[in-house]
Structure 1
Amino acid sequence: MKIAIIVREETMRRCTGSGCMNAFFQRLDSFARYADCNDVELVAFTHNGGDLEKKIATLKKKAVDVVHLSSCIRGKDSNYEALARRLSEDFAVVGYTHGGEVGSTGPAIILEKASGCR
Structure 2
Amino acid sequence: MKIAILVREETMQRCTGKGCLNAFFQRKDAFKGYEDKTELITFSHAGGDIDHKIEMMIKNGVDTVHLSSCMRAKAANYEALAQKLAEHFNVVGYTHGAEEGKEQATVIIKKADKV
Distance between the aligned counterparts of 2:17 and 2:48, measured in 1? 18
After superposition, where does 1:1-118 map in structure 2 within 5 Å? Answer: 1-34=1-34, 37-113=35-111
Deviations 1:87-110 (A, max 9, x none): 000000000000111111132100
Assess if the C-alpha contact under 8 Å between 2:88 and 2:111 holds in 1.
no
Residue type of the alignment partner of 2:26 = Q
Structure 1 segments, 4+ long, off by >6 Å, are none
Distance between the aligned counterparts of 1:29 and 1:106, measured in 2? 17
In structure 1, stretches of 5+ residues that fail to align are none
Distance between the aligned counterparts of 1:104 and 1:61, measured in 2? 35
Residue type of the alignment partner of 2:27 = R
Shift of residue 5, structure 1, vs aligned partner: 0.2
TM-score (ref. length: structure 1): 0.92
Query: Aligned-pair RMSD on alpha carbons?
Result: 1.0
Give the aligned length.
112
Residue type of the alignment partner of 1:4 = A
Distance between the aligned counterparts of 1:39 and 1:18, measured in 2? 21
